[in-house]
Amino acid sequence: MTNVSESAAAEPGTAITDFGIDTTTRSTREALRDYGTRLRAGDIGSLPAILGLIALVVLFSLMSDVFFSLNNIANLLAQGAGQTIIAIGIVFVLLIGEIDLSAGTASGVAGAVLAMHYVDNGNLLTGMGSTVFFVFNAMLVLAAILAGLLRIWPGVAFSVLGIVLTVIGFQANPWIEMLLAVCVGAAIGCITGFLIAKIGMPSFVVTLALFLAWQGVILQLIGEGGVLGISSSHVLNAVANGNLSTAGSWVLCVVAAGGYAAVALGGHLRRRRRGLVTSPTPLVVAKVVALSGFAIVVTALLTVNRSPSKLIVISGVPYVVPIVLVLLVAGTYVLSRTTYGRHIYAVGGNLEAARRAGINVTQLRASVFVICSACAAVGAIVYSSKVGSVDPQAGGLNTLLFAVGAAVIGGTSLFGGRGRVADAVTGGAVLAVVSNGLGLLRQPAAVVSIVTGLVLLLAATVDALSRRRVAITGR
């Protein structure tokens, strides 16, 4: 009887044939055919959101002469940045099949602490009162302890840093205030994650309860009918309302487009050298050229003076663009290039299988809530900067619904295991275009809510149908 090694020795090409899936280069036609097969099988990704975004842009540009004006393009980028950043964090939670209904009000708490620190010149003890100040720091201590029990060391570090910043009482400084907001957000995530992952409480119940609790905290900090203004701070105001210089805008364009080209083409060439399957070179080059061209066009438009007054010059890419890009790149790298990211997909795909494979499921499930709440705090910084103040409704109303909607509309599955950080950006763009376009057409808030709800319902329907299709085809 001939064994495998003898057979392989007799036929040197056998091994290559057996593993042809790893060593065959596809043609452009084959790649397009495979993509069509995946679409028919239900693996549609963010395609519906992208097509919907294109359709909405065309529709509103035909219905409003102002939609494609330079001022509106810049405003559109800043308008949806806050909810998009919160949605980036929610993607991590959705990927493991959980939900965080408290992300909106968690961002409100972070924003309220930021504004209070600025208004009271760093003296939170006076602003909060001794009892609230003690309870607030006790919460940070508790968050640090819970994160330590779960061995989530970034959560411990941010919680402890938050205690240091509040107890020492640094004078008002926009950078300290923004750092403090992120620390508060991370601490909230530590508490949320512990209750869900360690105690075993359903995420829907826990985060719904915390949604109400954090809303009460915001009201306690600001007071009913109160408003904490931050627009007098040049740095805080510039986060959502400022722009890069013309030179800085082009540097950002070169870094973003060049970085993407280097990663895409570099990875493609490495796979070709190793004989692994990769997308056809023409498709990779076309994608790089298209995205680079888009970046150049947008940068060229935004560096033109868009001020209606001849006395003031307003030009440059808004600061929120590099903020979102940094979070997009960081989140994409974590999910696609790290063991931690692969474990997230594994837990979302099959929790029990992941547990048996040796993944620390409890720690991982808790950690995504820390990421989610930290991103919510960053979103609060952007949103508060855009509005110029923080009020008792911060993070409430439609903030959470739009953030979750952005992630789902972009293609992240509500059932876990499927999605990307880029989905949140795509979905956020869709919602921003809907809100902006209907606003330009002077549609009432009722119409905006109805249309937004229908868009989200359509996205959820597509997600459910695509998963059913995948189950039927077995892909």
Q: Give the separation between CA 410 and CA 415, rounded to whole angstroms.
A: 14
CA distance 337 to 345: 12
Which residues of the chain have a pLDDT value below 50? 1-23
- Cβ atoms of residues 177 and 236 within 8 Å: yes
DSSP 197: I
Residue 206's pLDDT is 95
| 407, two tokens | 């992630």
Residue 467 pLDDT = 67
Burial of residue 58 (CB within 10 Å: 0-12, 13-18, 19+) is exposed
Q: What is residue 66's predicted lDDT score, i.e. its pLDDT?
A: 87
Residue 403, beta-bridge partner list: none
Cβ neighbourhood burial of 183 (10 Å; 0-12, 13-18, 19+): buried
Contacts of 144 (CB under 8 A, 6+ apart): 155, 156, 159, 160, 163, 187, 190
Q: What is the pLDDT of residue 42?
A: 64
pLDDT at 126: 87
Q: Tell me if 42 sits within 8 A of 466, measured CB to CB.
A: yes
What is the pLDDT at residue 30? 72
Q: What is the pLDDT of residues 56-101, one digit of tens each?
A: 889 888 888 888 888 888 888 888 899 999 999 999 999 999 999 9
pLDDT of the residue at 231: 87
346 phi-psi bin (left φ>0, alpha ψ -120 to 50, beta other): alpha
Structure tokens at 183: 């620390």
pLDDT score at 471: 63
Rounded-to-integer distance, Cα 229 and Cα 245, Å: 26
> Which pLDDT value is given to residue 339?
95
Report helix angle 203-222 to 103-119, nearest 10.
Answer: 20
Contact indicator for 155, 170 with CB cutoff of 8 Å: no
